Structure 1
């Protein structure tokens, strides 16, 4: 199944330039304006899964994914230009051939020159030589560090590694972090040639007690990085973070790092991401349990790891009737605003489960700006049969998006779960005051077929958000992508408008 080509492809080449001499043969597609027929970047095998997406400096994107279990969950990568043209052959290039029977999380990052980096487990589950590898892919599709990538961890026969994450540092290096069975994290820093900058095998990040399971890694100031983890000590699971020095990976936030939220515990298997604040600190968001209820929270740490908001974090809603889960957040560096979106869910007296979607703006001083219970985006509806079940929330800050006021954010959610046959992705844009920016309020990103693992990224030029997801029923899933412009429209602008006033001369 292939998506439709854009009718003005020839004109797009004339106006924007073709992607010539890019190594692998180019595919033929562009952004779709039809939410029922989104751009397909991968449909070669029975199932494709776990997409990730990053924006390139030239206005394009890299999309990565795993192929199906019959092919060992090999890692693939595709490069798109700003108009959604596939710049490499359809289904992308094979970055790493693997023989995995199950998957871990992995990392995708990009440097200022447009090179892509992928960090992953290689290459057979539970083998003695299973290890973490990092591959570098140049804009023309060359595997700069070879088919095997650079090995950064000890083999599993020494210590078993899993779940790699990547971050590009402000001094031009790539940092890779991974969990080590049974109880800690390692981090390594590589230069542009793949040479390790820190101790061989990576520096150890140890929890103050219990086990540390990696959640995320993000860049920080002066070439430093920040790592976060779920700290499991007995039945308690808390979110902790540590800042590592650029030169040698030494911990800068004390022994064992800092606890991010002074209250609440994480669910088993939940590893929340966080956001580089741009000032040496970070913005965190999660949902956690206190007593019998789940609460959504946000927090900002300064460059020294001290909380800038309430030590327990700021609750996005004061409601204590519903559970508040699946938090996603965006951060506006200019204003210090944190925008959060989450699912409200509850089982009522009729024994039915109800889901809804809410959003909140927390300002730089930690005050809730959209009321104590947030802004309702999707009213609570019965989700027991899957029809109105909510999942896969994303949030992207919108200060630089073209069209509409500055500030605010774009949030999205997926409605429906098995057995519901269609699971649409819906997006909305709110301004700083919590008002809808688009006349239609909500926009359909996709409107048919099952949906899984939705991710979103803002384009380098700031004028679009790009979504990627696993699409279709099990046994025949594809990877699809879709652009959403700042004015709430899909697809490319009508290029003929460029010539609406005619040509000068001749």
Structure 2
């Protein structure tokens, strides 16, 4: 009897548990088998070749130069010391200041009292920006913690550090801080020469007035404390003023709470610069009280009292803009100021001296320091021996920014016969910094002569003689991580894939190619193949299969100085360049050509369309070319004009007409900049325009229509989708054109989605499925719908959510899949830490197949810019992306097996 009762109880419990399990299974979502990675778990490294990594933004103190350096993948700070002949003393490539896995930038430095330097910077090792510091000895030894000393690691961000001496071998540092989450405030900290912070942890509050206080500048008060000034928005964002505060050696605030107003005139006062002497500080700022940026100055004593005119002395109130002031002491209690001045037709460098008494000494609006018929900008000034100064600026007399210098005296008179060029290099010379040391001016800059920025320096004598190499001495051109980006890919036989991408290994961004087999083997060498290696930038590679295991590759090319042209090359199945003359230009017109797109011509060649600016007014038109398998240009030596109407034609998309020709759609501005419309044209394989001259109007509704995308309808016509503001907010519209270019749906198209807020940037998954970016829920999500060939919405007016969750999902890619389905990829910031790539498959009924909100493509440290390639014949999908593992930008990929 007991056994029967036990058996009955067991059966009841068993069936109850089974019923619960069935209910759970029935209530749980079911998904098709997720994609199966076939290459390494975190992706296959397709290219991460080392090369001429960028070095940029040098700063100098004495003969020590510090810069941002990308050799490790992240922008970390490096330092170098030069001797009087410009030779490096701290190794060939300098010393790392505080290596870490995060970008470091916005650095400043001062001399310590032992011939070394103290450096402060923004640091992103903890994702938000923190403030760190380091001290380096005169011998290049790291004196504080190897990875730097944290000055502030408070939540949210800390930015724009400024530094001055504490008079005891340490430093006082100020920054603007977002810890309050209501606006930027000003904080400060003191660090001793031993690397110990001595004020309150994470800094002493200098100002937390309402509104924004930011970009502080700092100077010593010569008794161990500091004066801090900043741009202050407590009166409103359109009425910024200049405020200041003094803090003593112990961290005590000496002036009134939240600072004193240095200038509170009407309109904006911003971007202060300052210097100090034993009597007080002189502050110079950009001032809009007269309706355009002028320069004003004020001197404040150490009690916080204004010495000059209440709202400042006018340095210059000339017409148009005066900006970017640089200051130096005049040796008599006043200041010498130089700036960029737009009062003449061509921007020039002007200067002014304000005496100790606050009197402008060089005329009402200053004087031009080096008159020229060429643009000048970005001056800086350093004091030399006695009462003389050297001024350095960017000068455009060679057609690009180069550095020139001139010496002036106390009267603003030029002392050299002519301005002195600091380098004969052939690349941009920018972001100059300068110091005076032992009768020698040292100027450092970032130099574009080798494609990427490197750091150069020049020595200049007091007589204006160049002391080092003609082009300047190389301070750093280190080899390291470089950018590999903007990959595109196509299929080749036997499940192989061909990619082309931008690659900066040479310093210039050149186009490289690689072939990968189904197992993930790199077939064209571990570093890929240069498609056309030149000492010029190449951008935006496009690929078309040649039908024989190779590819046509088309790109923008800047080898012809002054113009960007479209070039092409054919790569054979083994990676050999097949056009013996090298790459070919699609025109030889002296005008910019950009944004090429290409498709097969179904005869072994390719069709290419681009934006062309040969118009006499520089307007953007659309041109095309057909290229034979041997590289012959079949539509004339300078291409076929598709549309040259008034206004710009740009932002285009192309598809095949299924007969060896193409159909193109574009955004057209012939009706005005504020009313772009959508047009289309059909071109036969022979280069004949088949629709209306100037294009067929697809949508001419009021307001903005833009970003059209196109797909063949399989019957000689096309379906076009675009972003449309005709209804007041941005929506998605579409139109079907038949083979004769006649609209098959309502005039101006039918709405695909008119939900609240913005929908934009549609793409096609196949001939029915349209996917777009959607802001209906207050952040960017991904939605889709399907249209029948008769223009009927198949998935309801709301569409179907592909990914809908907080943070951002955008940058869509899509490809057709079996049985009327599609696969979508996008960039996704749901982690809140970095962008990642997600995938989703959707069938013809609007049902998603994989996990809700998408399947994560696994990477080590995030990914962006995905590209998709479906290979349904072998049930696989290839995804490539820009991978940020290690801080660099590499090309990675993954092959997925799909059920």
TM-score (norm: length of structure 2): 0.45
Alpha-carbon shift at residue 147 of structure 1 (Å): 6.6
- The answer to whether the Cα contact below 8 Å between 2:802 and 2:853 also exists between their aligned partners in 1 is no
Alpha-carbon shift at residue 303 of structure 1 (Å): 1.4
Alpha-carbon shift at residue 184 of structure 1 (Å): 1.5
> Larger Cα Rg: Structure 1 or Structure 2?
2
> Are residues 224 and 80 of structure 1, via their aligned partners in 2, closer, same or farther at CA, if it must alter by over 3 Å?
same
Q: Which runs of 5+ in 1 are unaligned?
A: 1-29, 333-337, 382-387, 400-405, 488-506
Encode CA deviations 1:138-161: one digit per residue, 9 max, x unaligned: 0100100137312221242xx332
Match of residue 172 from structure 1: 604
Give the Cα separation in 1 of the matches to 2:724 and 2:885.
Answer: 31
2:698 to 230, 239, 260: 260
Equivalent runs, 1:341-380 vs 2, <5 Å? 341-345=771-775, 353-380=778-805
- The answer to whether the Cα contact below 8 Å between 1:341 and 1:360 also exists between their aligned partners in 2 is yes
The DSSP-based 3-state class of the residue aligned with 1:373 is coil
1:298 to 726, 734, 737: 734
Alpha-carbon shift at residue 262 of structure 1 (Å): 4.3
Query: Does residue 423 of the first structure (1) align with residue 842 of the second (2)?
Result: no
Give the Cα separation in 2 of the matches to 1:462 and 1:373.
Answer: 34
> Are residues 431 and 257 of structure 1, via their aligned partners in 2, closer, same or farther at CA, if it must alter by over 3 Å?
same
> Are residues 464 and 99 of structure 1, via their aligned partners in 2, closer, same or farther at CA, if it must alter by over 3 Å?
same
1:161 to 554, 576, 593: 593
Encode CA deviations 1:56-106: one digit per residue, 9 max, x unaligned: 2332211110012862110011111233322121231110224446x6534
Query: Does residue 131 of the first structure (1) align with residue 556 of the second (2)?
Result: no
Match of residue 480 from structure 1: 892
Match of residue 228 from structure 1: 665
The DSSP-based 3-state class of the residue aligned with 1:260 is strand
Match of residue 278 from structure 1: 714
Equivalent runs, 1:22-61 vs 2, <5 Å? 31-32=38-39, 34=41, 37-45=42-50, 46-61=482-497
Report which stretch shifted further, 185-194 or 202-211: 202-211
Alpha-carbon shift at residue 167 of structure 1 (Å): 1.5
The DSSP-based 3-state class of the residue aligned with 1:299 is strand
**Would you tell me which structure has more strand in proportion to its own residues?**
2
> Are residues 367 and 428 of structure 1, via their aligned partners in 2, closer, same or farther at CA, if it must alter by over 3 Å?
same
> Are residues 323 and 439 of structure 1, via their aligned partners in 2, closer, same or farther at CA, if it must alter by over 3 Å?
closer
Match of residue 723 from structure 2: 287
Match of residue 396 from structure 1: 815
- The answer to whether the Cα contact below 8 Å between 2:595 and 2:610 also exists between their aligned partners in 1 is yes
Q: Which runs of 5+ in 2 are unaligned?
A: 1-36, 51-481, 614-618
Alpha-carbon shift at residue 370 of structure 1 (Å): 1.3
Query: Does residue 469 of the first structure (1) align with residue 894 of the second (2)?
Result: no
Give the Cα separation in 2 of the matches to 1:441 and 1:415.
Answer: 10
Report which stretch shifted further, 231-240 or 187-196: 231-240
Query: Does residue 414 of the first structure (1) align with residue 846 of the second (2)?
Result: no
Give the Cα separation in 2 of the matches to 1:459 and 1:153.
Answer: 35
Give the Cα separation in 1 of the matches to 2:708 and 2:883.
Answer: 23
Give the Cα separation in 1 of the matches to 2:661 and 2:805.
Answer: 43
- The answer to whether the Cα contact below 8 Å between 1:285 and 1:296 also exists between their aligned partners in 2 is yes
Alpha-carbon shift at residue 224 of structure 1 (Å): 1.6
> Are residues 282 and 484 of structure 1, via their aligned partners in 2, closer, same or farther at CA, if it must alter by over 3 Å?
farther
> Are residues 81 and 442 of structure 1, via their aligned partners in 2, closer, same or farther at CA, if it must alter by over 3 Å?
same
The DSSP-based 3-state class of the residue aligned with 1:454 is strand
> Are residues 83 and 279 of structure 1, via their aligned partners in 2, closer, same or farther at CA, if it must alter by over 3 Å?
farther
- The answer to whether the Cα contact below 8 Å between 2:731 and 2:751 also exists between their aligned partners in 1 is yes
2:520 to 84, 88, 94: 84
Query: Does residue 144 of the first structure (1) align with residue 563 of the second (2)?
Result: no
> Are residues 104 and 65 of structure 1, via their aligned partners in 2, closer, same or farther at CA, if it must alter by over 3 Å?
closer
Alpha-carbon shift at residue 202 of structure 1 (Å): 0.8
> Are residues 204 and 69 of structure 1, via their aligned partners in 2, closer, same or farther at CA, if it must alter by over 3 Å?
farther
Query: Does residue 244 of the first structure (1) align with residue 683 of the second (2)?
Result: yes
Encode CA deviations 1:466-489: one digit per residue, 9 max, x unaligned: 2222121796100111223333xx
Give the Cα separation in 1 of the matches to 2:874 and 2:751.
Answer: 29
- The answer to whether the Cα contact below 8 Å between 1:31 and 1:39 also exists between their aligned partners in 2 is no
Give the Cα separation in 1 of the matches to 2:702 and 2:44.
Answer: 41
> Are residues 425 and 83 of structure 1, via their aligned partners in 2, closer, same or farther at CA, if it must alter by over 3 Å?
same
Alpha-carbon shift at residue 448 of structure 1 (Å): 4.8
Give the Cα separation in 2 of the matches to 1:122 and 1:143.
Answer: 17
TM-score (norm: length of structure 1): 0.77
> Are residues 264 and 169 of structure 1, via their aligned partners in 2, closer, same or farther at CA, if it must alter by over 3 Å?
farther
- The answer to whether the Cα contact below 8 Å between 2:782 and 2:804 also exists between their aligned partners in 1 is yes
- The answer to whether the Cα contact below 8 Å between 2:508 and 2:535 also exists between their aligned partners in 1 is yes
The DSSP-based 3-state class of the residue aligned with 2:580 is coil
- The answer to whether the Cα contact below 8 Å between 1:423 and 1:448 also exists between their aligned partners in 2 is no
The DSSP-based 3-state class of the residue aligned with 1:192 is coil
Give the Cα separation in 2 of the matches to 1:60 and 1:266.
Answer: 42
Alpha-carbon shift at residue 137 of structure 1 (Å): 0.2
Alpha-carbon shift at residue 443 of structure 1 (Å): 1.8
The DSSP-based 3-state class of the residue aligned with 1:198 is coil
Encode CA deviations 1:105-145: one digit per residue, 9 max, x unaligned: 342111222220111222337535x4321100001001001
The DSSP-based 3-state class of the residue aligned with 2:730 is strand
Give the Cα separation in 2 of the matches to 1:209 and 1:155.
Answer: 20
Higher relative contact order (CA 8 A, sep 6+): 1
Give the Cα separation in 1 of the matches to 2:837 and 2:543.
Answer: 23
Give the Cα separation in 1 of the matches to 2:886 and 2:587.
Answer: 33
> Are residues 171 and 164 of structure 1, via their aligned partners in 2, closer, same or farther at CA, if it must alter by over 3 Å?
same
Give the Cα separation in 1 of the matches to 2:573 and 2:522.
Answer: 12
2:867 to 439, 451, 455: 455
